[in-house]
Amino acid sequence: MSKLSKVRNSVRVSGSTLIISSLLVSSAFLRFGTDTGAAIAQTTMSAIDPDVTSSGNNTTNQEDDSNGREQLLQALLKREAQVERQEAALLQRENNLKATKAEVERRIRVLEASEDRLRQMITQAEATAEDDVLRLTTVYENMKPKDAAALFETMEPEFAAGFLARMQPEAAAKLLAGLNPETAYSISAIVAGRNARASNL
């Protein structure tokens, strides 16, 4: 084979190899083009200014931390305000209860004082009534039996029995002797019944 033929064959093989290599490289770029481009861009930016990437991340983290602290502070302030409102409401309720208790105690004292006055009035009225009955009893005892009997005939038996029970036995006997037998019996039965109940107590 001549030298010229050898050179042509060598050039033909080299050209084929170059074409195949170009196709493989193109396929690799098509397959990984996006990621490779991004990686190349990142690498390029880092090479130009290494602080760009880290600075961006630090700024984002600082903003997130600041927002988190602000939200936490707002939540704590809101909770504090809520607790203060609850404490104020409890204090107001406690004051209302104290005022109500004081008013109830005052009314109880007023009622007790009223009861004491009423009790004294009743006691005084009973004493006065008893004094009046005793005075009338004395008057009836000093009346003539006939006149006293005529007066007792007009009384209700219950009422007349109250006077007769307080009279001296001698005066009461004279009074009963002057009464109508039916009236005398009714009055005597009432007096005896009262005495029997009193002795059973």
Is 26 part of any domain?
yes
Is 2 part of any domain?
yes
Q: How many structural domains are present in the chain? A: 2
**Residue 68: pLDDT band with limits 50, 70, 90:** confident
Is 125 part of any domain?
no
- pLDDT at residue 58 greater than cutoff 80: no
Q: Which of 56-65, 72-81, 95-104, 141-150 has the lowest mean pLDDT?
A: 56-65
Is 53 part of any domain?
no
d(CA 125, CA 133): 12
What does 126-178 look like in DSSP terms, one character per residue?
A: HHHHHHHHHHHHHHHHHS-HHHHHHHHHTS-HHHHHHHHHHS-HHHHHHHHHH
Taking only the tens place, the pLDDT of each residue in 42-57 is 444 444 444 444 455 5
Query: Beta-strand (E) ranges in the chain?
Result: none
Is 193 part of any domain?
yes
Which domain does 1 fall in, by range?
A: 1-48
- pLDDT at residue 62 greater than cutoff 60: yes
